[in-house]
Structure 1
Amino acid sequence: MVDVNTIRSAAGTRAAAIDEGLRAHMNKVYGTMSIGMLITFAAAWAISGLAVTTDPSAAAAQIGTGKYLTSFGSALYMSPLKWVVMFAPLAFVFGLGAAMNRISAATAQTLFYAFAAVMGVSISSIFLVFTGYSIIQIFLVTSIAFAGLSLWGYTTKKDISGWGSFLIMGVIGLVVASIVNIFLGSPALVFAISA
């Protein structure tokens, strides 16, 4: 006859091994994503640093008070090359998606890091338009939201995929409210949308 305590301890050991494997996998995923985010930031910051100058004698175009585009910045943001830079991440995603089943894990990780760099080049113009404070603020809010939702999902083990339709309705509502506020210019509505 089978001892019930032996069965329970074997099931507990198996569950602990699964939890440990999941924890190791998630740590690797978070580590890879963190490195990817750092690569994206570094590429965006470096490209914007090469594209902008405060020296009017080295300027190809003026973009604001005391801010000028270098010849590199003018070629990147004002020529037809801007379309290549803008759509390169999308083309990268399509290409990576088509090749995903035929490449090794190491190649996929290398291509992910290359994608992160291409994405950084594509979004480098945010450093021309927005202040460093607002970029850092949005980065921190997004990181905290991601970490909080990830931690909540990991600890409670609840599936949050059912939130999708509700959240999509919320995004549509925010877009409509933002478009309406273009014409209203209401500071209270700006605050509500930000919240």
Structure 2
Amino acid sequence: MVDISKRVALSQAGMGVDARLDVGLRRYMLRIYNYMASGLLLSGLVAMAVVYTPLKAVFYAFDPATGAFAGLSILGMIAVFAPLVLLFGAMFAAQRMSAAATQAFYWAFVTLQGISLSTLLVVYTGESVVRVFFITAAAFAALSLYGYTTRRDLSALGKFLFMGVVGILIAGLVNMFVESSMLQFVMSAVGVLVFSGLIAYDTQAIKERYVATMGTDEETKVAVFSALALYLNFINLLQFLLMFLGNRE
């Protein structure tokens, strides 16, 4: 009877630990999704402010003869590439950054990214951007839920997805010179597949990293960078879907 009582007590203790772990994980994931959603909201507000207020004259150049949009201004081009510079800087400084510095970096990044995303509102109609945004949100929710709940190990996909991102970057650079509509179509199709896969892959990876960082000083930093990874996946999926489904101005 004593042994049975001990086993029951140990089993109940284990179940209690698992329950607390599950609750903590759900709170952690919700925190990451809140960071991501807040970042998307801030980027969207900045993009609309740039396009629909006098700020447009600061970041965009206009043809004096017609008054029509003629591309980004010098300041606009700097703003478009600024998030990339910030991202590379954070990659080298991540280990030395405090939790507060990591959060400041995140909000600075999504703000500058909003200026870059304003180009979508210039190229595509507002109605089609909103429509594709909700399509992207639905796809993101389904893919992230799959990554969170699946028992299948998605880690093997990591190398293939990384190679896909590199391939898209190379194809994008090549297409800047050849301007091939077929290459653009292929790149868009691959982009949708790659970033759809990355949403599920990163969600599972975030879930698995939780145990290693919970309750430590690194938890906030990891949460912010995890939110950034999901934010970037969402933004890239949105842009590639717009190439298929968006209506141009």
Instruction: Name which of 127, 131, 155 aligns with 1:133.
Output: 127
Tell me if the contact between 2:80 and 2:112 (Cα under 8 Å) persists in the aligned partners.
no
Matches within 5 A, 1:109-120: 109-120=103-114
Partner of 2:217: none
Letter in 1 for 2:97: I
SS in 1 for 2:127: helix
**Which stretch of the first structure deviates more once superposed, 143-152 or 22-31?**
143-152
CA distance in 1, matches of 2:130, 2:65: 22
Instruction: Name which of 53, 75, 86 aligns with 1:92.
Output: 86
SS in 2 for 1:119: helix
User: Relative to structure 1, is the Cα distance of residues 63 and 147 closer, same or farther in structure 2, using a 3 angstrom cutoff?
Assistant: farther
Partner of 1:150: 144
CA distance in 1, matches of 2:183, 2:116: 29
User: Relative to structure 1, is the Cα distance of residues 123 and 63 closer, same or farther in structure 2, using a 3 angstrom cutoff?
Assistant: farther
Q: CA deviation at 1:86?
A: 2.4
User: Relative to structure 1, is the Cα distance of residues 85 and 111 closer, same or farther in structure 2, using a 3 angstrom cutoff?
Assistant: same
CA distance in 2, matches of 1:82, 1:105: 30
Partner of 1:190: none
Q: CA deviation at 1:155?
A: 2.6
Q: CA deviation at 1:37?
A: 0.3
Tell me if the contact between 1:153 and 1:159 (Cα under 8 Å) persists in the aligned partners.
no
Residue 24 in structure 1 maps to residue 27 in structure 2 = yes
Matches within 5 A, 1:1-150: 2=3, 3-49=6-52, 50-51=54-55, 60-61=62-63, 68-69=68-69, 77-150=71-144
Could you tell me the TM-score, scaled by structure 1's length? 0.71
CA distance in 1, matches of 2:40, 2:55: 21
Could you tell me the TM-score, scaled by structure 2's length? 0.57
Tell me if the contact between 1:52 and 1:68 (Cα under 8 Å) persists in the aligned partners.
no
Larger Cα-atom Rg: 1
Q: CA deviation at 1:134?
A: 1.5
Q: CA deviation at 1:123?
A: 1.9
User: Relative to structure 1, is the Cα distance of residues 63 and 51 closer, same or farther in structure 2, using a 3 angstrom cutoff?
Assistant: farther
User: Relative to structure 1, is the Cα distance of residues 62 and 140 closer, same or farther in structure 2, using a 3 angstrom cutoff?
Assistant: farther
User: Relative to structure 1, is the Cα distance of residues 180 and 125 closer, same or farther in structure 2, using a 3 angstrom cutoff?
Assistant: closer
Instruction: Work out the number of aligned pairs and report it.
Output: 171
RMSD: 3.6
| Structure with more contact order per residue of length (Cα contacts < 8 Å, sep ≥ 6) | 2
CA distance in 2, matches of 1:115, 1:181: 27
Letter in 2 for 1:41: G
